[in-house]
Structure 1
Amino acid sequence: MQTVTIHSISYNSASVLGNLTSSGTAPVTEYGIVYSATNANPTTADSKQVTASAQPGSFPFGFTGNLSRLVPNTTYAVRAYATSSIGTSYGAVQRFTTLVATPSVTTDRVMYSEARNSVTASGSVQSARASAITRYGFCYSATSATPTIADNPTDVGTTVGNAPMAFSYSFIRWAPGTYYVRAYAVNSSGVAYGSVIVVGVYVNPTVTTDRTATKDNAAGIQTLFGSISSGGSAVIDEYGFCYMPSANATTNFQVGDRTVSVVRKTRPVPASFPFGFSLEVTVPQNTDYSFRAYAKTANGYVYGSIHTFYITYKP
């Protein structure tokens, strides 16, 4: 007795080829395929597909058992069998897994825009698989790291044409915090989810570059003034000014740019607003400089507008 091969595997069916190599000492009265999703060595006490074709007349004798009503995405152990008056013989056990029947869906991208106060999620349906998709969209949660369609589901559509098909949705006015977002798609077999993407929603502080005043012409000392009118949703880790010669200044120079100098403070931590601050810089006289105030949080840098100063010195 041999279990030869498995083919034509679908969501709920498969075909198994068996082979009777010899008749033995007694006539074969029944033969076919036994299978199980729980028993690693299935027997006739488990599910079986009896082959109803002609009884074997000569050997070897090949036959096919067509299994049906299987469970999608499930691993089955199968083997051929033959029964005579003496007993039952089995072929070697083989295994196969039925196809996944729920849709194939991915969460492609989730991004927050503070300027638009929105979170834009993008996903795609790769395949409908066993049956037509009846709804798809995004679900999210601020508390569960694995949101489901029980957690704030937002349907984007109900029918899918040719796959792969991309889709997106913009959520607006979420409160500051951390959110877990993923795409979903539903067909008659169930719900499929894309991977979870974590996105942070925040409000940045509001920073203003106020003014400048010369403290010491001879030493080239200038005092720069700035303020933070609102603190945003994250702790301010650092604040100060970045500056550079105006001849080299770009439209929106930042901390870390080449030729940009920085003066900074970390204490006191701004706790009430508006919060004013000033710092001194020492630069060569008779040179134009551009400067801007900034504040830094865990979400990055925020800048005020660009102003200029010039220290005149004639010894």
Structure 2
Amino acid sequence: MKKIRTLKRLAWVLLIAISVSCASDEKQSDRNSVTVETLRVSNITQNSALISAKIELTGKNELLSKGICISTDEKPTIDDLKIQEEGNTVSEYSFSFQNLKEDTKYYVRSYVLTNSGMIYGNEIVFTTSKTTKPTVSTLEVSMVTSRTAVAGGTILNEGTSEAGAFGVYLSSVNQIPGTTDRDIQGIRNSNKFICSINSLEPETKYYIRAYVINKSGISFGEVVTFVTEKISLTSIITNQPNSIYATAAKVGGTISSNGGSVFSSIGVCVSSVNSIPTVADAKTDIVATSENAFEISLIGLTANTKYYTRAYAVNSLGTFYGEVVPFTTKEVGVPILKISSLSGSNLGGSGGALIINNGGDPIIEYGFIWSKFENPDLSFPNISKTVKEGFFPDLNYFNATLTGGIFPSTTHYVRAYAKNSKGTGYSQVLTFTTGKN
């Protein structure tokens, strides 16, 4: 009997052990039905990186959240820096980590949180980039006169960020010019930049050094020297452009001295491409004048474009240039105007109009239109109008007598208009009413 009871107890113990073992295996099986893999690190910069991972989920586990943790120590956990996303979406995912340290080794692991607990993926190691400054070479100085010169540099390598500023530092005292010396900023073309230097002293030795700045700091080229010439007996100055519109402007120069030789031609070189224009570029010249100052009207320019101007003069001693003076043409819009006065009778009418804004371009036509119909414009088949055509860069007011197309016992609708290269602008509509004949 004792033997039978002992066998029963052993059977119960064995049954319990088997049940516990099966339950443990089932739990482990559920837990192992979730896998997360840290795939790759990409887009690595000095302070950021994009980290990707992938989840595979089978069985009964419920996905609660997923994320990526990162640390400068091995085997990072969720107690370290992390980016986490709630939800049960099972797919490849990526997070961008910002504000990392430059030139630093990082360890990353993906992870998922399920109803069975936390599961980590494999570990990947990467190192953030190191910032580098640009490298630059100083160009030889050219086109040296007593007061002007042209310098510049070649950007050999921009470094880890784009060059934000570039130019040359200039000094007649400091043999290694730097940030406390005169700064002449450049105009860039591809990997080179050009600097137009003015207001130099004659017969003076200058030290010049190119520089480039990016987010990592400033870099310098080698020091280059040059000596300005003696004061030239022939001297010409480029005047500031004026009356600047979208397609027109006035430029000119002032002759200080002809050096004892009469100028055969004078004018202004103009270019929207060459920052140091010469007579080989587009130019407007006039027969030499007895006046010291001269002015030339430029037309046919392109709106919203930067132009470089430079006065020049030619005589038996050679071709002489003034300083480079840039200007930018305006954006074009249609003119804005309003009628300031209007009167009418059975015999006719008269009106005046103010041009509030010519649209950044000279007026080429203006006048009044009137009709028996409301809101007349130039497309109406039966309108009366006054017309004045030409080139009027400084027009701000006009008036006219309205004759013809005046009817008795009728309300007449009147508008002023003005045209430029962009189109036609109209004033508000005013009216006058005639009586019976």
TM interval, shorter chain, is: 0.3 to 0.5
> More helix per residue: 1 or 2?
2
The TM-score, its normalising length taken from structure 2, stands at 0.29
Greater length-normalized contact order (CA 8 Å, ≥ 6 residues apart): 1
- Select the structure of larger CA radius of gyration: 2
The TM-score, its normalising length taken from structure 1, stands at 0.39
